[in-house]
Amino acid sequence: MPHNFDDQLIAFLPKMRVWALALTRNRATADDLTQDVATKALVAQDCFTPDTNFSAWVHRIMLNHFISSVRNKREFTDMENMPDRPVSASHEDRTALHELSWALDRLPPDQREALFMIALQEIPYETAAEKTGCAIGTLKSRVHRARLQLRSFMLGEGANLARSNVNTGGSPRLAGQPAPVSAPAT
């Protein structure tokens, strides 16, 4: 291997192109990456310690440069490609939000309030229990039942679920399902 830094770098260019092609999977981008890394290596040649692993040093420069370029592309959007006007939500998104609103409106008020406090406002259970004046266990039960009912509503299974849950005061069940049988008193 040549001892002059420039000669080492020139001799190493074909291997750098192979690495760059493996990273980018695009010949033009790989050539650009190789050129950028060669430039960085030339600028930083004073940092290279002679008689050490030149291949590992150049490879590290290439990986760092590639990762930085990927991050920069991900973090910034080209303003020329941004739409001039706000883009409305897709039909599916609007429908899903409408269905969620419909389902939330059908929850019993105590369950809706508990769900809003815990899930949306992220209030701790202890604080929410103080605000509502109920026990923490009761609040957790309301949140659990609200989530079950929302899931059923969103899956189209619970048209009468809220009504059956209010009537039983307990576990949610679909309309038409038999009530749980309690054990006979002895």
Give one DSSP letter per residue of 61-87, joined into a string.
Answer: HHHHHHHHHHHHHHH---GGGS-SSPP
What pLDDT score was predicted for residue 127?
93
Residue 120 located in a structural domain? yes
Structural domain ending residue among the three candidates 48, 75, 102: 75
Examine the pLDDT at 175 and tell me if it is beyond 50. no
What pLDDT score was predicted for residue 71?
80
CATH of the domain at 164: 1.10.10.10
- Reported as a single tens digit per residue, the pLDDT across 141-173 is 999 999 999 888 888 876 545 444 444 444 444
What pLDDT score was predicted for residue 86?
66
Residue 15 located in a structural domain? yes
CATH of the domain at 30: 1.10.1740.10
Regarding whether 111 and 52 lie in a shared domain, the answer is: no
What pLDDT score was predicted for residue 72?
76
Examine the pLDDT at 129 and tell me if it is beyond 80. yes
Instruction: Please report which helix (H) or strand (E) contains residue 166, including its range.
Output: helix 161-168
Regarding whether 148 and 121 lie in a shared domain, the answer is: yes
Q: Write the single-letter amino acid at 4.
A: N
Residue 184 located in a structural domain? no
Residue 88 located in a structural domain? no
Regarding whether 65 and 115 lie in a shared domain, the answer is: no
Regarding whether 121 and 55 lie in a shared domain, the answer is: no
Range of the domain at 132: 93-168
What pLDDT score was predicted for residue 4?
85
Residue 175 located in a structural domain? no
| CA pair distance 3, 54, nearest whole angstrom | 11
Number of domains observed in the structure of the chain: 2
Residue 174 located in a structural domain? no
User: In whole numbers, what is the pLDDT of the chain averaged over residues?
Assistant: 81
